Amino acid sequence: MTYMDQVIRESQRYYASVNNMYKVCTEECTLKGSDGLKYRVKPGTEIFISVYGLHKDPRYWSDPETFDPDRFSEERKHEINKMTFLPFGEGPRMCVGMRMGLLQMKCCLATLIKGYKLELSPKTKLPFKLLSFVFLTEAEGGIWVYLSKLR
């Protein structure tokens, strides 16, 4: 299942299920911005993290607009900075359902691959245009597929 894991991780990077995260600072800290300036953050300050922006940032990902599951291979996964891949958040308040979510994705994908043929419907607009400012990633007009059982 190694390659399936790579495909799932790259799918999470390419189309993060959660576009943005909002966090509340619990203790004073200093953050360095991409402009080089330092910002003092006080407890209670709301922090906005663009997961989509982080996952597509060329400073952290080589050729970020290319879908490449091999970037998560054993040979290359050491190149990934832990805090630049946040499909479930990170730290003590990361998603508690991470393991269950990954298990469901693997079971669903394995079932589909084993027993069904999927075809993209012409009703699906390509390339996908993601809706802005929604909590969960959503393609404008939806993603429509034809599903037929394999014989």
Question: How many whole angstroms separate alpha carbon 111 and alpha carbon 114?
Answer: 5
Phi and psi at 135, nearest 5°, equal: -65, -50
Query: Is residue 29 part of an annotated ligand binding site?
Result: no
Tell how far CA 115 is from the center of its chain.
Answer: 26
Scanning the chain, the segments in alpha helix (DSSP H) are 2-14, 51-55, 98-115
28: helix, coil or strand?
coil
10: helix, coil or strand?
helix
Residues placed in the known binding site:
95
Residues placed in the known binding site for heme:
95
